[in-house]
Structure 1
Amino acid sequence: MTVPRSRLPFHLLLFLLVGTVTAFAAAWQPSYERAATLALAQDVAHEGEAGALVTATSDVQPLAGEAGPPGGGPVPHLGTFQQDLDRLTSRLGAGAGPRLGAVLGRPVTRVAAVPAAVTDGGAARPYGLDPELQLLYAQDAPQSVRYVEGRAPARPAGDGAGAPVEVALSEQNRQALGLGLGRTFRLDGGPRLRTDAVLVGVFRPVTAGADLWRQHPLLERARPRDTDRGRLVTAAALVDLSGIELLEARSTLPLTVTADYPVTVDPAGRSAAAGRLAELVRASGSFERDAVLAVCGERTLGTLPCALDRRSATPPRVTERLSATALAFRHRAERTEALRSFALAGLLAVAVAAAVAAARLAARREDGALALQRARGASPARTGAARLAETAPAVLLGLLVGGLAAAPVTAPRPPAPPGWPAVAATVLAWIALPVATWLRLREPRRSRPDGDRHRPRRAGGPRRAAEVAAVLLALAVWASVRVRGAGALSDPQLPLLPVLLAVVVAVVLLRVQPAPVRLLAARARAGTGAVALVALARAGRAAAGALTLLVLVLALSQAVFGGLVVHTLQQGREQSAAWRSGADAVLLGPARIADAGAELAALPGVAGTAAVHVQVQDLIGSDGTVSAGAVLADVDPDALLAVAPASPLGRELRGARLPSTVRAAPEDAPELDVLADPGLLARHPDGLLDTGSGPDALRLRIVGTLPADARRDPVLGPLLGERPPGAALVVSARTVLPADAPGRSAVLLRLVGGPLGPLDREQVRRAAAATGATGSPVELRTRAGERDQLDRDGLGAVLNRTFLAAGAGSLTIALLVVVLELVLGARDRARTVSYLRTLGLGGRAAAALPVLELLPLLAAAALGGTALGLLLPAALGPVLDLTAFGGGPAPGPSVDWTLTAALALGLVVLVAAVAALETLFGRRRSPSAVLRLGEAL
């Protein structure tokens, strides 16, 4: 079928629209799943750095008749424990099922005995008591230790009867216990455990951050603890699995078997797909139940042991953080998909609006030909069907090219079939020209004088009804989304809201725009130039200007909104990194970790330190009112300001001149002056609060309130978690804590080179270990490391790419529509310019006509599109919650004004440049080429 030359521009635009929509739709889900799976793999790996995400624990002991009395008994069954370990882990793996088993690696097993007193052998007796030693078999010990003396424990010769258990100690533990290499000593655990042991090796950790040292810190350094007999030192020693078997034969106490499962998500898989992610959450959450059934069968009762081979095991106890990690990721993934749906809906709406606008322009250009067909009795339906068949090759070619363009993005998988929104957009773009042609042929237009052919018809009832319906629909969808709040994420109406609001903005602009245009035209009429008057007159009666304005508003609002989201995410990552690190670096741990401040300040590269201590207390007012879960923070303002000079909290504490110690009270508890948030003071107007009763009780006296910026100070972030607490916040300047203070502490570090300054992690770890702090794990964070972790977030990256591609595609489509309007209206404008040139107007002045004609439309589109893009976050409300992508205080919408101005002005400049270029080519036509004899303007 031959396409008339006059409709070739429309066919070319239709091909580009269908190809763009097809490419986006085909690559939409596969590209997201690949990026999301990579992000899930990064999240799992990051969480796994703090310890195993899935751990199964069971108590194992020989079956009846297999063990003997302490200190003697039958010959140990050497080499059989590994068989039972393999049987136990095999059953655990079967309980994991296919979905969880796909991400679980081979477990790392450890076997721990009950601590026993070290007697004889010349062992030291710290604090006057025999130290305790726990024997531990660790499968990962060979990779985690380096022997500096002796050798690793090994299997004894022969059957092992009467042989001592071979053990290895760390350098610190050997010094603490006072044992020499080759020394034999006695392990006495009471009547149920007695055996001899011999020290055969001394080791040093290879990697300080390995799981072995995090989960068993006693292996590296002995720790004292308070008992009813006094202060007791406890350490741990490594043994071979044969040593566990020797101990088992001489004890009646159970052994604790721990299986740590490494979790690895294949970045090339589809684990982040919505269905598979839900399956992973369910499988990891039910792993304990499934593991018990796999190990013990369906007839297990409570904690009764289950038979393995030579041993029995209690029903496994599972500790897992994988489900929480997957749930947190799913929350972010839902937010990501909701935001991406805005981009896709906007792009599809721009494509459909562009197709309709182009179809109206093409049909309007053929008014004369259509009038002739109508006079000859042509059927509107048959003519529309002919147009449908005529545009089919452009649609098919667009589908083919779009699918080929998406193939490299989705490789190695084939492009996904487009969803119904993309199919609907393609169908609407395809039928746009046939429908526009049918509407032109459906009813004969009233004849009008030739001089009035450019005058627009008055908008009657149908147009007003359509405008009112569009406004009411937008208001209804907006109200529905705002009422549902964050629950509207899965609502299909949500991505349509920006499109409907753009329609409302276009309607308002169409109603408002004529007034300033008429005002400018009146001023131009009073002047001497004719170009401005003619251009403004033509701008006020453009037939397809409404749809072109809608396309421009949609495209520009989409680009501005995408830039706002991307810039907000970038600022949110900055805030989150500062919130999680508090300063250039931070050392987190138990309350006593604050004692490492002086040693840390002396390290190379550290310019200063400040300790922050936080504990959760129930505060009791004078009237008995309880403020549960209040956060009490202690910080030295001078040290804090030395580390973070811009700290709002430090400035408030220094200005309040709070004492650094408590005041003794003869009858009541010691008093401590504090600053509190205004809400707490409103609930307790007298400002007096008690932390409870007992020797550690305090009376807090509120002497001032904390402003909002002090409550959100990043120096509190590492201890307050990923988000500011909802509970009351109380801050004191206390610098001396009780010896057994509860809670956690953070030592903020100011580095010499700023956030990127060097820091020796091994020296920091040794300084923390020297405090002897026990309890919560010790963690070192740096601002640069936290920012790098956030920057590598795959979901944030896919959002950036999505809005960049959708914004660029929308603006390109809008520019093509304007180009098409210029091309299809070129002859009409050339005729007007020729009229003006025959009346004596210069060529340069006449050349400005197309640019001036488009300026009112461009100004309205730039103003409306930019305003809508900036106001969309306020319209969406709680649905646009970006805290899931970084944590910390909720980042408010952050506008990149440079980008916003560049988008608005860039669109105006590009369109004006295209109009000027079209005029330049049009100047080659002579007036005689476009004017007909006797034609009047």
Structure 2
Amino acid sequence: MSSDIRIFGALVRRESRSDLPLLGCLAVLVLVLAALGSAGPLLLARQQDTALSQRITAAQRNGPLLDVAGQFTLDVAAGYPASAAPAVPLRTVLPDSGRDLAGSFGPVLGPTTHPERTTLALPWGDYLSTTALADGYGDVSLQPLWVSDADAHVRYVQGQAPSAAAVAKGAAPDIALSQAQARALGLSVGERFQVASRTDADQNAPLSYRLSGIYRPVDTGDDFWTAQAELDQVQVETPTVPGQPSPLVVQGLVGAGAADSVSTDGFGYFPVDWYYRMDLGRAANARSAPVVTALATLGNSLQQGWCGALDGNGNPECSLDGQTVTTFAVNDTATPLLTAFAQENRQFEALASFAVASLLAVGLATVVVAVRLLLRRRSGDLVLRRSRGASTTELLLSRMATTVPVALLAGAGGWILGRPLAPSGTSGHPLPALAIGSVAAAVLLVPLLTWYTVREPGTARRSRQRRPVAARRYVLEGTGVLLCVAGVTALRVRGSSGGSTGGGIDVQLSTVPVLVALTTVLVLVRLYPVVLRLLAAWARRGGGTVAFVGLRRAGRDAPATSLALFVLVLTLGTAVFGGLISRSIQDGTAVGARWTTGADAVSVAAGNIAPGAVAPGLAGPGAVRAELVENLRVVNLTGDGDGQIFNPVALVTLDPKALAAAEPGSPLAAQLSALAAGPITQLGDGSDVLPVLAVAAIADHREQTGTYSANAIAAVSGHHPTRVRPEGTLDRAAQLDPVLGPLLDQQPPGTLLLVGTTADDAVLPLQSSGSTAALLWARPGAAPAALRAAAATALQAPQTDVQLQSDVLTALRTDGLTRAVGRIYTVCTALAVLFALLAVALELVLTARERGRTTSYLRTLGLASRGAAGLQILQLVPLAAAAAAGGVLLGLVVPRVLGPALQIQQFTGGPTGPALHTDYSLTLVLGAGLALLVLGAAAVETAVARLRRLESVLRLGEQ
């Protein structure tokens, strides 16, 4: 027994030494796959976490994502809290109130939110002017504000900051104004003025304030002056009576003690806002869902933490640090951001899953090629040992004894080596299934293929009929095709939703492209031998011996090289698919940015702006070559004939002549040109009938209803009854005209659309629920700063949102998820190319004996050395051509096959998904590169063979 063990051990050692190069190759493959399972998911998760953190940072430049609003309620007679708690001055409560309130945010929100700013609003009042106002200004509304972090964002050019100490009884609290505000009010440091309160005006005397300082803004790179722009700007409102001076709105800074002083004068209600900055940390993506859940219940958590029993009116009695506060209201803008990112992230994972699945398929196929070559080198020895009486079990154990330890050690080593490469603290988790699968593939393939080789004597195998073998092959190929068709059909029916596991991998979406690649290879393996036989027959008639033999040999070897063909086709297909996605996203972002801004720049104001508030003459010799103002109103339509209701409907009005001048090729301008000639008519009941263009759902219904009564939602100006009459149907191109984007982007999906001309504005009401947009087209070479300044002054409204198309385009293209898509396809393609190169090299070694024997025969018959070299290369040209054609075809077909399951609109914006644009230059380079790769490998093999002079050697007994 011991001697048998020694003999077996010696045999294993001998085989291990002779198979050392291939065992090393197998070990490297398993090690790399195991390392990918260890580090890959974490590297991918870091991309997602970085993208979400980037979104949060960008959003918080415009203001905090979380705002908790309340109202301190004081006893106006004594200045004490209305409850029985001891009196606590507001000046001592305010600085720490934001941090104290966050103590009840809970274990999820607490660590991710940080107090950023607390603001306390003193009562609005009418400024009682003692000095002359700047020309053109009328009444002034003034509101003092205490802002916790104001001192860090202003620089006092005159005077000093308002005092935070208590204000002596009878003294005027300090207030500070910006340079623009002080200039508009005609005030200088040290002057006193009065403000008449709008609350209980008959009971309260005017409040006195002393201007303690004049400041200018300091840009600290955060969101302060975006969120608190009113502390610097003078807000000019539209006068209620045309021709009258414009009213002003001014906000000034006061100290923490001002509220205590004002409360003794009969005011006891002070609105307060606590603003919080959000930081989800390194594992941002994993924390987003719990944060959304916690935000949904934050209001209840605050009530439970700070409120007790109900008062006599049934309202909760809340107290914060000894001060009575009303019920807390949560203004949450983080949830929409996190929800939108979650939807985009699911699509990113779907796109990434194809690249990852393709890489794994290529890697495992390379493992199969390595194992086949390992066994091919020992096939003669196995058959000889079997003929000498060795059992199948003995042969399996001898083969496993050399490969199993190597695979296990390589798998463990890859897993260990991958850990230092993986970033820590991300949302991802290692994928041990990949490491286990790669080890299992290497461990199980060896005994399976060994058993297939030695399960019966070779003579018995050759004597069996070939028909059952062919039948089994047809069944396997048919099964693969059916699985592919079923997977594609199910995926198209399912669409882009569902299918992903908890780890984010969409199994169905990642499997279907691999099945499509397998089907492509099956078709190629069946077709290109037929083509080769036809070419060989043509070469035979032409007398080309080398071409005839090479083509015949390539056709005969086609089934044997199918695995290498699969690797090459899938690698190239993935690269072409990635290039198509990158190009489509690149082109789609340009369309999305154009839809978002409508022009080179846009200024959007909430609510309809009166025509007098639109700055005229921006188009001229400056940065702007053309401008267009459009209004959006939200109306309910009721059919006058049958009572059919359409709700809500967006009604957009604009000047078609101005649009045609700015955009001569605008499809909307072409349709509106005929409508502009139609007059507004009036019915007998005094209602105006406006001609409009309508979407098909409304326009097609006109025959039954005639006209529609339009009821404006949230109208802020009186108007007489209005009706609309569809005069035409908006075609698809007109509905997608970019000039409509800045206004329609604000409406929920599915909102119906009407478009009229600016003549309709004369009879339509102004709406607080509507909006006004000023679109600007830049002159060539115009500086972005000049264009932004022009857009900022286009609408004379208190708050406008200014966007430049170039900024939107940059934001879309530098978005974390968009860039991550390109990165993952680049990395996976690079690794797949390395695997494919190794697979091709191993496949060439695997089939080198047959090619060498053919060359030796011909050399013996007198074939020249140059002809032998050409024959070597010619035998692999069909493989290169088939791989290049199949890979390009796969990369171009897969996006069309996936259909609705492939959605990239989340990365581009815009009203619809972008068209798929093939990057033909990249596709050509990739296809040619792969063909050159195979031909280069063939040339290297030929050079090595010539160096060793193997093509002229026949073994003993060969004929």
TM-score (norm 1): 0.88
Q: Which residue of 2 aligns with 1:475?
A: 485
Match of 1:752 among 754, 776, 779: 779
1:854-893 correspondence runs (5 A)? 854-888=876-910, 889-893=912-916
Match of 1:221 among 234, 248, 253: 234
Q: Which residue of 1 aligns with 2:304?
A: 293
Q: Which residue of 1 aligns with 2:843?
A: 821
C-alpha contact (below 8 Å) 1:131/1:234 kept by paired residues: yes
Q: Which residue of 1 aligns with 2:168?
A: 160
Alpha-carbon offset, residue 473 of structure 1:
2.8
Residues 629-677 of structure 1: CA distance to partner in whole angstroms, max 9, x if unpaired? 22222222333344444433234434x3624974556655334333333
Distance 1:174 1:933, change over 3 A: closer
Write the distance in 2 (CA, Å) between the matches of 1:676 and 1:217. 39
Alpha-carbon offset, residue 736 of structure 1:
7.2
Q: Which residue of 2 aligns with 1:577?
A: 593
Amino acid at match of 1:605: A
**Counterpart secondary structure, 2:474:** helix
Match of 2:609 among 592, 600, 622: 592
C-alpha contact (below 8 Å) 1:557/1:866 kept by paired residues: yes
Write the distance in 1 (CA, Å) between the matches of 2:195 and 2:654. 48
Deviates more, 1:166-175 or 1:91-100: 166-175
Deviates more, 1:22-31 or 1:738-747: 738-747
Match of 1:741 among 766, 770, 789: 766
Residues 463-499 of structure 1: CA distance to partner in whole angstroms, max 9, x if unpaired? 2232233233333333333333233341533321112
Q: Size of the alignment, in residue pairs?
A: 915
C-alpha contact (below 8 Å) 2:693/2:754 kept by paired residues: yes
Q: Which residue of 1 aligns with 2:740?
A: 716
Deviates more, 1:411-420 or 1:819-828: 411-420
**Counterpart secondary structure, 1:516:** helix
Q: Which residue of 2 aligns with 1:466?
A: 476
**Counterpart secondary structure, 1:495:** helix
Does 1:441 pair with 2:450?
no
C-alpha contact (below 8 Å) 1:218/1:234 kept by paired residues: no
Q: Which residue of 2 aligns with 1:261?
A: 276
C-alpha contact (below 8 Å) 1:63/1:312 kept by paired residues: no
Gaps of 5+ in 1: 70-75
C-alpha contact (below 8 Å) 2:855/2:872 kept by paired residues: no
Deviates more, 1:556-565 or 1:903-912: 556-565
Residues 267-317 of structure 1: CA distance to partner in whole angstroms, max 9, x if unpaired? xx11223xx221121122222222222222588996333233442111211
Alpha-carbon offset, residue 911 of structure 1:
0.1
Alpha-carbon offset, residue 54 of structure 1:
0.5
Write the distance in 2 (CA, Å) between the matches of 1:752 and 1:403. 58
Distance 1:563 1:293, change over 3 A: same
Distance 1:201 1:605, change over 3 A: farther
Q: Which residue of 1 aligns with 2:444?
A: 431
Q: Which residue of 2 aligns with 1:625?
A: 644
Alpha-carbon offset, residue 401 of structure 1:
6.5
Residues 526-575 of structure 1: CA distance to partner in whole angstroms, max 9, x if unpaired? 23122222222222322522322222222222222222222222222222
Does 1:53 pair with 2:65?
yes
Amino acid at match of 1:95: S
Write the distance in 2 (CA, Å) between the matches of 1:298 and 1:409. 56
Does 1:284 pair with 2:295?
yes
Match of 1:198 among 209, 214, 235: 209
Write the distance in 2 (CA, Å) between the matches of 1:683 and 1:838. 87
Match of 1:486 among 496, 520, 536: 496
Match of 1:237 among 252, 263, 266: 252
Q: Which residue of 1 aligns with 2:581?
A: 565
Write the distance in 2 (CA, Å) between the matches of 1:922 and 1:129. 97
Does 1:95 pair with 2:107?
no
Write the distance in 2 (CA, Å) between the matches of 1:829 and 1:456. 24
**Counterpart secondary structure, 2:469:** coil
Distance 1:915 1:674, change over 3 A: same
1:517-916 correspondence runs (5 A)? 517-542=532-557, 544-590=560-606, 591-592=608-609, 595-598=613-616, 600-601=618-619, 604-623=622-641, 624-654=643-673, 656=674, 658-659=676-677, 662-663=680-681, 669-685=687-703, 688-692=707-711, 695=719, 697-721=721-745, 725-734=749-758, 737-738=761-762, 741-742=766-767, 743-753=770-780, 757-759=784-786, 761=788, 764-766=791-793, 768=795, 771=796, 773-774=797-798, 777-888=799-910, 889-916=912-939
Write the distance in 2 (CA, Å) between the matches of 1:154 and 1:140. 14
Alpha-carbon offset, residue 80 of structure 1:
2.8
Alpha-carbon offset, residue 129 of structure 1:
9.8
Distance 1:205 1:681, change over 3 A: farther
Alpha-carbon offset, residue 364 of structure 1:
3.6
Does 1:106 pair with 2:130?
no
Distance 1:297 1:463, change over 3 A: farther
Write the distance in 2 (CA, Å) between the matches of 1:396 and 1:764. 66
C-alpha contact (below 8 Å) 1:68/1:249 kept by paired residues: no
Amino acid at match of 1:290: S
Does 1:497 pair with 2:497?
no
Residues 752-780 of structure 1: CA distance to partner in whole angstroms, max 9, x if unpaired? 34587443645643554xx2x25xx4111
Amino acid at match of 1:747: A
C-alpha contact (below 8 Å) 2:634/2:650 kept by paired residues: yes
RMSD of the alignment, in Å?
A: 3.7
Deviates more, 1:256-265 or 1:823-832: 823-832
Of all paired residues, the percent bearing the same amino acid is 33
Distance 1:11 1:649, change over 3 A: farther
Distance 1:68 1:893, change over 3 A: closer
Gaps of 5+ in 2: 1-12, 501-505, 713-717
Q: Which residue of 1 aligns with 2:46?
A: 34
Residues 689-741 of structure 1: CA distance to partner in whole angstroms, max 9, x if unpaired? 44238835444343333332222122222222189952332223326734953
1:69-148 correspondence runs (5 A)? 80-86=89-95, 88-119=97-128, 121=130, 132-148=141-157
Write the distance in 1 (CA, Å) between the matches of 2:22 and 2:750. 58
Distance 1:168 1:205, change over 3 A: same
Amino acid at match of 2:52: L
Distance 1:130 1:507, change over 3 A: closer
Alpha-carbon offset, residue 428 of structure 1:
0.9
Write the distance in 1 (CA, Å) between the matches of 2:31 and 2:864. 43
Write the distance in 1 (CA, Å) between the matches of 2:112 and 2:678. 51
Deviates more, 1:528-537 or 1:734-743: 734-743
Alpha-carbon offset, residue 915 of structure 1:
0.5
